[in-house]
Amino acid sequence: MTLQRPPKRQLRPLALVNARLVDPVSKRDEIGGLLVDDGIIRDLGPQIGRAHVPEEAEIIDCGGHVLAPGLVDMRVQLREPGEEHQETIETGSLAAAAGGVTSMVCLPNTDPIIDDVAGVEFIARRARETKRAKIYCYGALTKGLEGKDIVEMGLLHQSGALGFTDALTAVADAQVMRRALSYARTFDLLVVQHPEEPRLAAGGAMNNGELASRLGLSGIPTCAEVMMIERDLHLVRMSGARYHVAHVSTAAAVEKIRQAKQEGLRVTCDTAPPYFSLNEAEVGDYRTFAKLSPPLRGEADRRAIAAAVAEGVIDSIASDHAPLDVESKRVPFAQAVPGVIGLETLLPVSLELYHKGQMPLIDLVRCLTSRPADILGLPQGRLAKGAPADMVLFDIDRPHRIDVAKFRSKSKNSPYDARPVQGKVLKTFVDGRIVFAADTHA
């Protein structure tokens, strides 16, 4: 007796027509169509219209809206395993789909910490079960995030870890960081650093300066960031490793990274929307939703970050999604846990840079898609024949107010509630499947 497997359910081919195709790799920005079969982009271009699609295909008229690669978010915390009351892989994926994010990389600061093969395999298994977004993880750089002993980077990478980081803490010991970078170089793996000199930042609640002094809060100086980056750059020079600086927030750090890139070091960096859209004044009357790590900086730094994204010194924009429960935020400012959610505001807040005329759309899309994918070694993040059909369709101009109450994320700690923005996600596709469709009457 032979057991017959049920035939694999084939999705109908999909034809997206009348779309504004925006692809940062081919630098395409034109009206056309795109064909998907079996989860892969089979063809695209202006020649593909309603008349030229296969008979059996399902046709979606995009109404001339932007069809871009799905967003690739390099830095999220999904709180699973361990803190499922704040977020789960399931709710995080719903939020991602609603935000047009089709791939995301979560940090290893879960409970238990992702510092062994079992942890990486857990995330991989949960990612397979959750079909709304592609979920990857970084492994811890040091065991237990303790900053002492390096993890089994080779084995973790073989299990799927895309890079290594101690998440919210910098590796303080220069010798440990030197060896971690050197060991990562063995397999040419990416090391991601939270750039903050820990002793300088210890106890700090917000950006150092006049406002902190007036509020009576202890400050974290901007130099805490650039000092750590400078130290690491010396070690990168020595080891030849691939080094990525997460959430850059200061002008001084941008300058150092610019120089390092000119020198030819293998250095990349990202920032998160708060650092180019908000400044320290947001803290105002001790608003804990404006408490981040690194902290929101002064206006000059905010401008410098926006300019660095436009210029390309900052490679990528990540949501830095940090879901936190009410108890983490409804406390005196100094005691509040830093972090804000970002999956559902990543696109509209980033689009402010385009709407204000600071950078062309195609460059902004690159920061959100192909550039992070390239840094992570992922094939998605582009509209190209043969690429995975991960895409986002959005109305670039539609004005609306951010309504945190409607967010899919389990936690609501966003600093952007009621902010007027332009740009709304209409549909999100992962491997050719629609994983999110906006309520058309909204």
Partner 1 sequence: MTSTQTSRPSAFFPHRHLLGIEALNPSEISRLLDLANRYADLPKDDEQARRLLRGRTVMNLFFEDSTRTRTSFEVAALRLGADVINMSVGTSSIKKGETLLDTAMTLNAMKPDVLVVRHGDSGAVNLLSQKVDGSVINAGDGRHEHPTQALLDALTIRRRLGHLDGLLVAICGDVLHSRVARSNILLLTKMGARVRVIAPTTLLPGSIDRFGVEVFTDMRKGLKDVDIVMMLRLQLERMQGAYVPSVREYFHFFGLDYEKLSLAKPNALIMHPGPMNRGVEIDSEVADDINRSVIREQVEMGVAVRMACLDALTRPLTGYNGSGQNEPADLQNGGRS
| Residues making contact with partner 1 (CB under 8 A) | 142-143, 148-155, 179, 182-183, 185-187, 238-239
**Distance of closest approach, residue 156 Cβ to partner 1, in angstroms:** 9
At its nearest, how many Å lie between partner 1 and the CB of residue 402? 43
Residue number, 179 or 266, with CB nearest to partner 1: 179
142 versus 369: smaller Cβ distance to partner 1: 142
Closer residue to partner 1 in complex, CB, 22/176: 176
Q: Which residue among the candidates 115, 301, 320, 390 is catalytic per the annotation? A: 320
Task: Tell me how far, at minimum, the Cβ of 190 lies from partner 1, in Å.
Answer: 15
Clarify whether 320 is annotated catalytic: yes
3-class SS string, the chain: CCCCCCCCCCCCCEEEEEEEEEECCCCEEEEEEEEEECCEEEEEECCCCHHHCCCCCEEEECCCCEEEECEEEEEECCCCCCCCCCCCHHHHHHHHHHCCEEEEEECCCCCCCCCCHHHHHHHHHHHHHCCCCEEEECECCEHHHCCCCECCHHHHHHHCCCCEECCCCCCCCHHHHHHHHHHHHHHCCEEEECCCCHHHHCCCCEECCHHHHHHCCCEECCHHHHHHHHHHHHHHHHHCCEEEECCCCCHHHHHHHHHHHHHCCCEEEEECCHHHHCCHHHHCCCCHHHCCCCCCCCHHHHHHHHHHHHHCCCCEECCCECCCCHHHHCCCHHHCCCCCCCCCCHHHHHHHHHHCCCCCHHHHHHHHCHHHHHHHCCCCCCCCCCCECCEEEEEEEEEEECCHHHCCCCCCCCCCCCCEEEEEEEEEEECCEEEEECCCCC
Question: Least separation, in Å, of the C-beta of 240 and partner 1?
Answer: 8
**Minimum CB separation from partner 1 for residue 360, in Å?**
40
Tell me whether residue 141 or residue 389 sits nearer to partner 1 (CB atom): 141
Shortest distance, CB of residue 135 to partner 1, whole angstroms?
Answer: 24
Closest CB to partner 1 among residues 34, 171: 171
Name which of 164 and 436 has its Cβ closer to partner 1: 164
Residues annotated as part of the active site:
320
